[in-house]
Amino acid sequence: MDWQQLYNQARQAQQNGNLMEAARLYGQILAASPVPEAMVNYANVLARMGQHTEAMAQYDLAAKSKTDFFEALFNRANLLLEIHRPLDALADFDRSAAIRPDVPGVWNNRGTALRQLRRAQEALASYDRAVTLAPSHINALTNRAIALFDLRRLDLALAAADGALAVQADFAEALYVKANILRDLGRLKEAQACYERVLAAAPAHGSALNGLAQVTAALCDWPRTAALAPRLVSDIMAGRSLIQPFVLMGYSEDAALLRRCAETYIHRVTPSQPPLCDRKPYRHERIRLAYLSADFHQHPTAQLMVELFERHDRARFEVTAIAFGPDDNSAMRHRLVAAFDRFEDVRGMSDLEVARLIKSREIDIAMDLNGHTHEARPGIFSHRPAPVQVNYLVYPGTTGAGFMDYILADRIVLPLDQQPFFSEKIIHLPDCYQANDTTRIVPPPPSREQAGLPVDGFVFCCFNNSWKITAPVFDIWMRLLQQVPGSLLWLLDGPAADNLRAAAAARGVEPQRLVFAPKLRPDQHLARHQLADLFVDTLPYNAHTTCSDALWAGLPVVSCIGKAFHGRVAASLLKAVDMPELVTARAEDYEALALELAKNPALLKATREKLARNRTTTALYDSERFRKDIEAAYEAMLVG
């Protein structure tokens, strides 16, 4: 049998999905004659079988055997993209485009390489070229919407997603992109319906369940969250859907499930990379710290951390910011820039480029202030740019990443018996793990009328995000309103307001007893806390920054301590301000304590007075004490 017959048989086996037979036949052909086309097809088969190294070797041989071999270059580029080598992929896509500029797929996939390199504007131009060549190219149309979404041009991104859906109405990926855009536009009910359309069109879609769970919780659509919760668990256990650990925290406090979720997530989104650093200490005269964050602008993270950045002992520490979030030109942004020895704005740089920057600076300790939260970039840390890498503050759980060494916590939020559920080694600060900015001024409060509150009546308050509000907690709040005549519940305004009003009515409470606070500037928001009488916390996810805000403004917080890190933060804060009597261990005790404080004006007055005294005399807002404690922890990390 000549090689052409074998080649035809191999192609047929490949098309039928019989990869082992196709590989055998291509191997037989190549053993007899180095046919370039067979090399490419053999490589394609090997790539589909997951044998990436062997596939790459065949693409290399094919590219060398024939000048300007388009198929070899294009398919090698696609494999490089798949194995997360976007810079190398881009070079091959560019060579492919030079040979065949008329192929839409080259420009589409080239755009994806540029997206992975964080070059969104160039990616958009590449997708535009693909669409010009093929106006109905559904992948390129969808990718245009994604690039516009990356650029935060949300209205244009939505129009682009609709353009893709005009070509193919049930295209799951375009529906998913549209749902994400609607979510970020705050149009959560439409986003919810769109995620459901994705799952109807493609039940095995890897990410739509996560998006649906996220917006459903934010809408306080509790019948649907109850239906979604077991599905989240089963999909995590089976490895079906890619669930963000931060989303799961709104549904669960099962530490083992949270670790499994985190490990699956990090494995899928951040593949292991060759380490840039051998982890040997540098032995600089000053310890070099780098804080990495998407939130170095007007943001709760910046609000908590900025004074620590300013206070770091510059005789012992050199402090660098690695900022990959937006520059909002706010007073906070300017304050942050001034607080660091170096402020590196790395937007537009790939993960590898940022990691190389950290390595070139010989950073001793790299602090991740995002974890698995919005706009996190764990890929930077996957390159191991620093000897010590730490998960801190923003993400209250394990990253599940082998390249993260420590998690900085305290004995309340993360007792040492939780170590089996964390991939990082737990390090405790002696008091509360949370930093605070004690330079903030609490302005005089507005009038109740100015704040949209009735002149009279006891004000229960919770300024937590709506996704933290669960049906069992809301049931308690409604019973409190029923037992305290004339009282009201003050919440943040948002897309969940209608559902919350309906839920109140269903529980026999007049919907107008829920008052929704509009978004204000941070100082104005802090000032209005003084109009509330009692802050009532949420579970399974507590108030974090919102608890600090309330206590700093003099508003007592009643909390119920949970089982997992994210449900134990308010307890840590309250104990650090020496008010452990406001921490309860059971839901019924939480309800009873809130009721007692609401019905006993003398007790509430004494509680407020104690908080006013403790605010300036206890550990929670002692910034110098906190600075010394966290710097001691950093020094201990370097010792190992």
Q: How far, rounded to the nearest angstrom, does the alpha carbon of residue 389 sit from its chain's CA centroid? A: 18
Does residue 33 register a pLDDT over 90?
Answer: no
382 neighbors 272 (Cβ within 8 angstroms) = yes
Cβ-based burial of 360 (10 A; exposed 0-12, middle 13-18, buried ≥19): exposed
Query: Whole-angstrom Cα distance, residue 288 to residue 89?
Result: 34
d(CA 587, CA 564): 15
Is the backbone of residue 299 left (phi > 0), alpha (psi -120 to 50) or beta?
beta
DSSP letters spanning 455-501: SSS-EEEE-S-GGG--HHHHHHHHHHHHHSTT-EEEEE-STTHHHHH
pLDDT band at 558 (very low <50, low <70, confident <90, very high): very high
Summarize the confidence of residues 62-82 as an average pLDDT. Answer: 95
Cis peptide before 580 (omega within 30 of 0): no
- Among the ranges given (2-6, 92-96, 152-156, 268-272), the one the predictor scored with the smallest mean pLDDT: 2-6
Q: What is the pLDDT of residues 590-617, one digit of tens each?
A: 999 999 999 999 999 999 999 999 999 9
pTM of the model: 0.95
Provide the pLDDT for residue 8: 86
Element (H, E) at 291: strand 287-293
Residue found by looking up tokens 């007893």 in the block? 513
558 CB contacts (<8 Å, ≥6 apart)?
A: 534, 535, 536, 537, 582, 584, 590, 593, 594, 597
pLDDT band of residue 1 (cuts 50, 70, 90) is low
For residue range 140-157, what is the model confidence (pLDDT) as tens digits? 999 999 999 999 999 999
Beginning with the edge strand found earlier in the chain, give each strand of the sheet holding 287-293 in spatial order: 342-345, 317-323, 287-293, 365-368, 388-392, 406-410, 425-429
User: CA Rg, the chain, in Å?
Assistant: 28
Q: What is the pLDDT of residue 52?
A: 94
Helix axes 222-238, 255-269, angle to 10 degrees: 70
Nearest alpha-carbon partner for 519 in 492, 538, 542 = 492
Angle at alpha carbon of residue 119, lines to 319 and 339, rounded to 5°: 20
Query: How many Cβ atoms sit within 10 Å of the Cβ of residue 379?
Result: 19
% the chain with pLDDT above 90? 92
Task: Give the separation between CA 528 and CA 284, rounded to whole angstroms.
Answer: 47
Residue 108 neighbours by CB under 8 Å, 6+ apart: 126, 127, 130, 137, 139, 140, 143
> In this structure, what token pair is assigned to residue 18?
């019989």
Q: If pLDDT is split at 50, 70 and 90, which confidence band does 13 have?
A: confident
- Find the distance separating the first CA and the last CA of the chain, reported in whole Å: 65
* Structural domains of the chain, with CATH: 206-273 (no CATH), 287-438+626-639 (3.40.50.11380), 459-621 (3.40.50.2000)
Q: Cα torsion at 625, 629, 631, 633 (round to 10°)?
A: -170
Question: Would you state the structure tokens that stand for residue 358, as one six-digit string?
Answer: 């950290």
CA distances for 385 relative to 269, 362, 364, 382, angstroms: 18, 8, 9, 8
Q: Is 146 left (phi over 0), alpha (psi -120 to 50) or beta?
A: alpha
Mean pLDDT calculated for residue range 482-506: 98
Q: In Å, how far are 121, 162, 214, 259, 512 from 179, measured between CA atoms?
A: 22, 11, 11, 27, 31
